[in-house]
Amino acid sequence: MSKRNFLVCSAKYIFVLASVVIMSMAFSACSKDDKDDGPQLKANVLTVGNREVPVKHVVCYKDGDEIYKVGVFFADDEMEEVRLIAKEDLYFNKKIDLTKKKDADSYWEVIYYDPTGNRKIDTWSKPDHKYKVGEDIYPVFEKGSLFIKKKSADNIYIKLEGRVEGTTKGVMYDISLLYQGKMTVATDD
């Protein structure tokens, strides 16, 4: 083999190797774009402001209209709770925009009770024009989303994150919850 053929053959291999390296870098760069740029939520942990507390257990109540009341508890006394209320066919397996009110027959609701059992967050997607005169109008989130998925009859996935005004006017809460695991299923009587 002549020196010229050797150089041409070597150049082909170098070109192929360089192409493979460039393509692998392009694929790894693309996969990073699919991830959220925001802070990563901790699994099975509620974060309210700077306070983090692990999930103790989850109870799911279901009524005959397929409306689920999911109680996520953080202590055995069940005082601290995130309660999510949503109709399965309207809100499960969909990313719910918590900044929008819904002109529907069924609304989502997000409630948070602090460790002493005091309700600090109470939001509801009912539109303002559907409230009666003198009735308290519940806020929606300033920013936020909720995703609920039943993984099986006794297993659920919940991702909640956002910023919302609390039950005390002017007090804002940053709240996030990521939970995947077992739940106890009960019938709401």
For residue range 50-92, list pLDDT tens digits in order: 999 999 999 999 887 788 899 999 999 999 999 999 998 889 9
Give the helix/strand (H/E) hosting 182: strand 172-182
Is the pLDDT at 176 greater than 70, yes or no? yes
The better pLDDT of the pair 40, 26 is held by: 40
Sign (positive/negative) of CA torsion 100, 105, 108, 111? positive
pLDDT at 33: 41
Which pLDDT score, from 0 to 100, does residue 70 have?
Answer: 95
The rounded distance, in Å, linking the Cα atoms of 93 and 21 is 39
Q: Are strands 184-187 and 57-62 parallel, antiparallel or unpaired?
A: parallel
C-alpha pair distances (Å), 84 with each of 12, 96, 108, 184: 61, 12, 7, 15
pLDDT at 10: 64
SS3 138: coil
Q: Please say if the pLDDT value at position 189 is more than 60.
A: no
Q: How far apart are CA 75 and CA 112, in angstroms?
A: 14
Which residues neighbour 139 within 8 Å (Cβ) at sequence distance 6 or greater?
Answer: 123, 164, 165
Q: Single out the residue of 87, 101, 70, 78 nearest to residue 184, CA to CA.
A: 70
* Residue range 84-130, pLDDT digits in tens: 999 988 899 999 999 999 877 789 999 999 999 999 999 999 888 88
What is the spatial distance between Cα 91 and Cα 27, in angstroms, rounded to a whole number?
34
Cβ pair 184, 59 in contact under 8 A: yes
Q: Tell me the per-residue pLDDT of 133-175, one tens digit each, with 9 for 90 and over.
A: 998 889 999 999 999 999 998 999 999 999 999 999 999 999 9
- In the sheet with 67-73, reading across from the earlier edge strand, the strands are 119-124, 109-113, 81-87, 67-73, 57-62, 184-187
Of 112, 114, 106, nearest in space to 87 by CA = 106
Asked if pLDDT for residue 186 goes beyond 70, the answer is yes
Contacts of 45 by beta carbon, 8 Å cutoff, 6+ apart: 52, 53, 54, 55, 177, 178
The residues pairing with 17 across neighbouring beta strands, listed in sequence order, are none
Q: What pLDDT sits at residue 160?
A: 98
